[in-house]
Structure 1
């Protein structure tokens, strides 16, 4: 199935610098899609520190199980990703497929299978034929040279309409380090600990436990702050690798003061990648930032923001460019969080549409509609109860979303 390029797609891609200690290659093996790359092999010249966060779905994929089992080892030599098949809900065959996939990579690279990380995305319930990787992995290992990050991002796409890649640099104890990332996701996106798939690599010398602390922290305001359709994937996986190729003393403590700029860069990078996922929502035409302020706590604000962002009625109003603020009131009220109707205020962009429990006396339908005609729409709710605040990002819900998912397996 072909999908029209999202109107929110980037007009240009960043110049992604190379990162020392990592190489990769892509291939088309026909897992589901014809004549498009669907396999990515990333290799690390020396053992890289690794951190990961995964879906909290009670029906995780076999690849998620594999990564969870290997993550305590703290080191990675390779990452193998395939699109077109999630290898989820595939029972014993799924576990066997992950073991065989890792074995192919280990044999081609001379590392242990436990140093191979795996990710799969695509159709749920269809066994993954890992034999398709036989020979291909060996060729990819031999070809792995250049770092074409956009090509890598393209290889992990399913219903995405554009690849997602971003880069940042940061000062780390007087040295400049680089952080690159790719992501995929367009549907079945309401992340619960991670996003559909995202892989981040830095040349910073950071120990695995510190990487884990950093990653677990930033997902809450990035990958866990987006939603497209309210459905959490079986395959959510974010992996962060550190090659240490930038040199310098390894950072062994999460409270090391040298980490300040790196922590900020990681948060900024993951937030950008997460927003690109929301902008590529299946059938999306509009990008929405939902900001909730004045809540009793940040956690309460986030639950209310997600209630708004996940509401089909809010999202269809956005699609129809209808400034229907009553649907926002509904979504706040159903969230189950502390709220006082008579303190509520709502803005579409900089247009206040409701205040003190009723329509704003200066409300202008024309001004509100102008905001709704934008490609990117800020929506703000102030609860007037406390200091809690949160931001989440979503997209509109269009007929195209139904069309895409109505025949996804065909």
Structure 2
């Protein structure tokens, strides 16, 4: 059989491009083709976030997220410095505004130290030294957090990987046969054949896995994160986060000064009515029906309806969103918040309603599927790329 390439990578976000980059570095001469359905790279999760290089403080010691985020943060800073991509190591504050949050804040201190992350504990006066307009009863300063332009990182990976990157190449059919590799057909009618398929399709990864013939035992349930920008950016010097609820993979409404000098405020987390549902007007009935048909979606609603109701309220009411911001930044006003582009988190959910917390990578015959890679996947993209490449090369033999 004539192969068009050795490895077909589905998805031109930062993870798919990192896989291509890692493959060509680890095994020069490997022919890699990346297929991206959009007109350019990084159009979804990669290009629609607050641009934070996460330290790894939140993640369970020993997990893929913890190991890859800690390693990936240092590598991402080095990568950006080497190739002239806008970035800065800013550090960040995680601020407790209520005594009930103190045990969780102290747990983060311990987790950070277990993950090898430098953490400094602060009182109210020390918080003011970092952020004069932020109020809290205690905080921790995490020195290794930074910011960068992930869209520019993806652009560089696309050019530097040595892979062929095809845009406007949406996959509509996959044919996998024993001993014959994998063939895909695009919406344009092009057919490409490879020895191994790598699924880095993000919001559509479960659909691509099933198209390949592998049951992923999870579904992507999309959550939209809505952002504002701060009309008075002088109120925030760097990065300020609340103490997160450990029951959820979301970090809460936070304040992030980006590489452009503007300050992002958000996101919340509300159900999206389409996988690329960047506002309430985007409804795709077939995708919504698939989400509602998954038992895990109803389990989430049953268990966490109070949390979800609060997020919906903040989505529908700017004043409610402003109230959430005022917990950290008391001087903010509703008219300080200017609507900005939203993002959608590709959250893997198991049948029993469990929100998959760690990165999830599964292998099938002649296929490797990246099935849960929301934040901090951009931070951890270079280590994730090497891990997936290792599995692919073992399959190629």
With the shorter chain as reference, the TM-score category is: under 0.3
Structure number with the bigger relative contact order (C-alpha 8 A, sep ≥ 6) is 2
Under a length normalisation based on structure 1, what TM-score does the superposition of the two structures give?
Answer: 0.22
Under a length normalisation based on structure 2, what TM-score does the superposition of the two structures give?
Answer: 0.23
